């Protein structure tokens, strides 16, 4: 999001504090002063991660701090679930398995760890999937269940969804 705030001491901190208050995680702060600018306000761009449904709370907290929000950028995928797959993952086209999730447009595989003990032995892999909403995640897991059935892979799901 792009913020505009008074160019005075403590203002940047005042803008950042509410982010951690709502459980957010700051990924980057971009703060560039135009050379020769005489404006008494400062433009700051912040890239952040927020748990689902916390954005409105953050917006009102920032407004209370006197920070003007110029623009809220694109929301990224933030619902996260880790599953483990066991089976002949390479022989059954792992990139196709991943693509079935990625091609949905509402969920994506963003992390993959693999363990391949020997050729012809079953391999194990851990996949973390991200999506924007819980419903999208359920849909993505549903797709993965079907793919695993089709490819005879064992899918191990988490007991609880981890946000």
Partner 1 sequence: MKVAVLGMGSVGRGVLSVLAAKDLGFSVTALADSKSGLINPSGIDIKKVLAQKKKTGRCGDKTISAMDVVKKADYDILVEVSPTNASTGEPALTYLKTAMNRKKHVVTSNKGPIALAYKELKSLAKKKDVALRHEATVAGAIPVFHTLEQGLAGNEIFAIFGVLNGTCNYILTRMAEEGLTYEQALLEARELGYAEADPTYDVKGIDAAIKLVILANTIWGNGVRLDDVDRTGIDLLTPYAIHLAEEEDCTIRLIAEADRRTGLLRVSPRIIRKNHPLVVEGTLNAISIETDMAKEITLIGKGAGSVETASAVIGDLLFIAGQYDRRT
Q: Which stretch binds partner 1 (CB under 8 A): 29-37, 43-51, 71-79, 120-128?
A: 120-128
72/163 with CB nearer partner 1:
163
Give the separation between CA 156 and CA 145, rounded to whole angstroms: 10
Question: With contact defined as beta carbons under 8 Å apart, do 97 and 125 qualify?
Answer: no
Q: Is 124 in the site for partner 1 (CB under 8 A)?
A: yes
Which DSSP letter does residue 74 get?
A: P
| The only residue of 113, 135, 149, 150 in contact with partner 1, by rule CB under 8 A | 113
Query: Which of 97/123 has CB closer to partner 1?
Result: 123
Residues 8, 1: Cα–Cα separation, whole Å:
20
CA distance 88 to 115: 11
Q: Which is nearer to partner 1, 92 or 124 (CB)?
A: 124
83 near partner 1, rule: CB under 8 A? yes
The helix or strand, by DSSP H or E, that contains position 123, with its residue range, turns out to be strand 123-131
Least distance CB 114 / partner 1 (angstroms): 8
């Amino acid at each position: 999001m792009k913020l505009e705030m008074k160019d005075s001491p403590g203002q940047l901190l005042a803008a950042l504090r509410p982010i951690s208050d709502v459980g957010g995680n700051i990924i980057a702060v971009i703060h560039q002063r135009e050379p020769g600018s005489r404006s008494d306000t400062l433009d700051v761009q912040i890239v952040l991660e927020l748990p689902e449904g916390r954005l409105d709370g953050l917006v009102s907290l920032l407004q209370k701090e006197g920070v003007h929000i110029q623009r809220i950028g694109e929301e990224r995928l933030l619902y996260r679930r880790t599953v483990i797959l066991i089976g002949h993952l390479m022989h059954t086209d792992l990139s196709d398995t991943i693509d079935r999730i990625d091609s949905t447009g509402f969920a994506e595989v963003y992390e993959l760890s693999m363990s391949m003990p020997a050729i012809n032995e079953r391999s194990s892999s851990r996949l973390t999937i991200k999506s924007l909403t819980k419903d999208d995640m359920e849909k993505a897991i549903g797709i993965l269940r079907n793919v695993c059935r089709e490819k005879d892979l064992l899918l191990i799901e988490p007991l609880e969804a981890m946000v």
